[in-house]
Structures are given as C-alpha cells and as structure tokens.
A = this chain, B = another copy of it.
Amino acid sequence: MEIRIGDLAKRSGCKVVTIRYYEKEGLLPKPARSGGNFRLYGEAHIERLQFIRHCRSLDMTLSEIRALLGLRDNPMQDCGEVNTLLEAHIQQVEMRVSALLQLKRHLVDLREKCSGSRSVEACGILQGLGNCNCHGESATNSQTSG
C-alpha cells in the first residue's frame, strides 16, 4: 500500500507543498522513495497526517502538535500532559473569543457614530477612530511589553 504525495494530499485535504513542509518541520517522518525519487507513503503516514490536520483545524500550532505527536509516539507515558496541553489550548481559544467580542462591541459602537452626513470630514466613525481614548496616552497597550 504505497501512495504518492498527490494522493496523500487528496486523502488528507491538504496540499502537496504542505505535506513536504510538515516533513521538513519533522512532523511527518521521511517516507521511502521510489526509483525515480518520488515519496512513497503508507498507512501510518496517512493516519499521522490526518491527526495533524485535525489538530490544525482546531487551531493548534505546529509546536503544540509536535508535542502531542511526541506523546503519541511514546504510548507508555502518562496522559496528563495531553490534558494539560488541551486545557491550555481551550483557554487560549476562550481568551481569543472574549477579546474578539469586546472588539466587536467597540466596532458596533463605532458604526453607530456615522452621522449620515455623507462627508468623510464629518463622519463620526473616522472621528471616533481618531479621538477614542480607550487606549490612553500612557502605555496601557499590549504592544508595549514584548
């Protein structure tokens, strides 16, 4: 059961270049090669790539995925780390959601501000974007410390 990279791409729903990229990044082991130097994949690769894609669809970073794969490759380990990683990821997602919701409230507020005067000069939106003091003159900013 040996398939080439194009077929693997079709099966996994990701692109050929992405598969090669994962290989370069060490997420997928180097496959066997054909006489003509084509990559030849087997069941294990297919399953592993699906695992990776699933994790990616859950917005995990490649290094999170690398960690999960590392655990998966040593099945005797305690699964506590898996839980920890997942928990941390969920929290990240939650934080991102609440940040976006706050941001959306801000955007909606802004939308209300258009006076409808139809002139950019008088548009409350642009004024709101310039005048709003929600980010202060002092460094209350996320960018500042980094």
A contact residues vs B (CB 8 Å cutoff): 10-11, 13-15, 18, 47, 50-51, 53-55, 57-59, 68, 71-72, 74-80, 82-83, 86-87, 89-90, 93-94, 96-97, 100-101, 103-104, 106-108, 110-111, 114, 117-123, 125-126, 129-130, 132, 134-141, 143-144, 146
Interface centre among A68, A101, A120 (most CB of B within 10 A): A120
- Asked if B90 and A121 sit within 8 Å, CB to CB, the answer is no
CA distance A97 to B143 in the complex (A): 22
The reply to whether B104 and A50 form a contact with Cβ atoms under 8 Å apart is no
Copies per complex of this chain: 2
Give CA–CA (A120, B7) in the complex, Å.
30
Inter-chain contact A135/B13, CB cutoff 8 Å:
yes
Decide if B94 touches A97 in the complex (CB within 8 Å): no
> In the complex where A106-B58, A132-B54 touch, is A119 in contact with B75 (Cβ < 8 A)?
yes
Q: Is there contact, CB below 8 Å, between B120 and A78?
A: yes
